[in-house]
Amino acid sequence: MAGEYLGLAQVYSLSDEPGHGAEIFSLLRGSTLEPGAYLDAFFDTGHERQGAVESP
């Protein structure tokens, strides 16, 4: 199965350097939806609590 970057990345800012046992998040999902429909269905539902990260 090949992947395609759709221009969306989810990240969480750690308060410290990750060490042994640090939890890392990833999500892979197979879908037959077109890219725009996929983002609308799973990441643009209208119930998000997210925002852009500003560079320091």
* pLDDT exceeds 90 at position 25: no
* pLDDT exceeds 90 at position 43: no
Q: How far is CA 54 from CA 1, 8, 10, 13, in A?
A: 34, 16, 14, 11
Gap between the Cα atoms of 30 and 15, Å rounded: 32
Predicted structure pTM score: 0.57
- The confidence score (pLDDT) of residue 1 equals 57
* pLDDT confidence band for 24 (50 / 70 / 90): confident
- Angle at 13 (CA atoms; ends 9, 19), nearest 5 degrees: 110
- The confidence score (pLDDT) of residue 26 equals 77
Beta-strand runs (E) in the chain: none
Average pLDDT rounded to a whole number, residues 21-48: 85
- The confidence score (pLDDT) of residue 34 equals 93
Locate tokens 């197979």: which residue?
30
